[in-house]
Amino acid sequence: MRIADILRFSVNTVRGNRARTVLMLFAMAIGVAAVVVLTALGEGARRYVTSEFSALGSHLLIVLPGRSETAGVGPSMFVAQTPRDLTIDDALALRRIAYVQRIAPLNVGSAAVSYLQRSREVPVIGTTSEWLEIRKWVMDQGQFLPPEDPTTALAVCVLGGKVRNELFGAQPALGEWVRIGDRRFRVVGVLGGQGRSIGMDVDDMVMIPVASAQALLNSSSLFRIFVETRSREELSLAQESIVKTLAARHQGEQDVTVIAQDAVLATFDKIFNALTYTVAGIASISLAVAGILIMNVMLVAVSQRTAEIGLLKALGAPQQQILRLFLSEAMLLSIFGATFGLALGALGVWGIGLVYPALPVQPPLWAVTAAVGVAVGAGLLFGVLPARRAARMDAVQALSRR
């Protein structure tokens, strides 16, 4: 029998039984669509987080005081015991390393910021002018901190958008003097709204020169040093140099931890990939269910079409041919179902994209391929049993039915 004829015959059968066909297509389609949509969500979440971290810059190292065996974001990072402070001089020493392009020492505290009668308790970040380029933030008004010697405690500050609004309302803020803690600072700039950036609400903070922050917070220790290398390739070289340089400065003791932004990213990547695989696995259960449904429907079809099978045998169709006819029917249904499911999934993904524009939802290629593969495979696998039952039917008994 010709392949074209087998296909034509199967299409004819499938079309001849609308309700059954539509049901089966739906079952298959929902399975495939579930895989597509759920993996797209998982992948979207992964990409979202990745892009958030990439915004940090892909060749960034973070130096933190204290020795930590594990690199990652956790409470231990913040409570690590510091035998020796990380100082501004340490930061300046790092700048002399060949691979380093920019550095930004960071000091974090909290203080009351007031203007006239209005006062707010906000996070205060002490850093240097290079911070802006390292984090790729944008200014809304004025300038960022001036590129002065980091050891100079200038009395200037940059406000987050929300802080500016709360203190100044509709009045201009640039050039005004605000009180932070017990010191006066002149407002030189207002940050643009970059939203949240890795746990920091950019809108709700005040930035001052790092030396001023040390004086204000009464601490000579730095919280972090952000180091941007010249290129991604030099990341590990730079990491080594940093550890060496600081050890040399700290009487040979390695008392700092240097984490690559990559390491954090890789961890998140792993977590979200695991998540995506999990949802794909759960969704593929529905594919298996659809496969069983195909088997069920095909079994019913075989018993409904007993007389036809008998006839085909009488007309000279060997078992193999009947097997092929029924298998191709099951395959056709699952292929159509998978196609329909892909369309449905694409629609779902598009819908999610509309609702959550920030989430870069897109099903990964492996998931789409696997979903279609499993759908067609299930059609084949679960089609074999009914097809074999049809092929092995006794011709005389089959013909005597009806």
Partner 1 sequence: MIELSHIERIFHVGDQQVHALRAVDLSIARGEYTSIMGPSGSGKSTLLNIVGLLDRPDSGTYQLDGADVTSLSEEQHAHTRRDKIGFVFQSFHLVSRLTAAENVELPMMLAGIEPAARKPRVQQALQAMGLENRAHHKPEQLSGGQRQRVAIARATIMQPAVLLADEPTGNLDRASGLDVIAVLESLVEKGMAVVVVTHDPFIGERARRQIRMEDGRVVSDRTTTPPLREPLFGN
- Binding residues for partner 1 (CB under 8 A): 1-2, 4-5, 9, 12-13, 15-16, 307-308, 310-321, 395-396, 399, 402
Q: How far is the CB of 397 from partner 1 (least distance, A)?
A: 10
- The residues, ordered by sequence, that sit 6+ positions from 282 with a Cβ below 8 Å of its Cβ are 38
Q: Rank residues 132 and 325 by Cβ distance to partner 1 and give the closer one.
A: 325
Q: How far is the CB of 332 from partner 1 (least distance, A)?
A: 15
What does the block give as tokens for 368?
A: 């789409």
- What is the DSSP secondary-structure string of 322-389? HHHHHHHHHHHHHHHHHHHHHHHHHHHHHHHHHH-TTS-----HHHHHHHHHHHHHHHHHHHHHHHHH
DSSP 3-state percent helix, strand, coil across the chain (nearest 5): 55, 20, 25
Q: How far is the CB of 298 from partner 1 (least distance, A)?
A: 17
Q: Rank residues 228 and 329 by Cβ distance to partner 1 and give the closer one.
A: 329
Q: How far is the CB of 398 from partner 1 (least distance, A)?
A: 9
Q: Distance (Å, rounded) from C-alpha 93 to C-alpha 87?
A: 10
Length of the chain: 402
H/E segment holding residue 187: strand 183-191
Q: Rank residues 372 and 391 by Cβ distance to partner 1 and give the closer one.
A: 391
Q: How far is the CB of 329 from partner 1 (least distance, A)?
A: 13
Q: Rank residues 58 and 321 by Cβ distance to partner 1 and give the closer one.
A: 321
Q: Rank residues 72 and 318 by Cβ distance to partner 1 and give the closer one.
A: 318
Q: Rank residues 200 and 311 by Cβ distance to partner 1 and give the closer one.
A: 311
Q: Where are the beta strands (DSSP E) in 21-99?
A: 60-65
Q: How far is the CB of 1 from partner 1 (least distance, A)?
A: 5
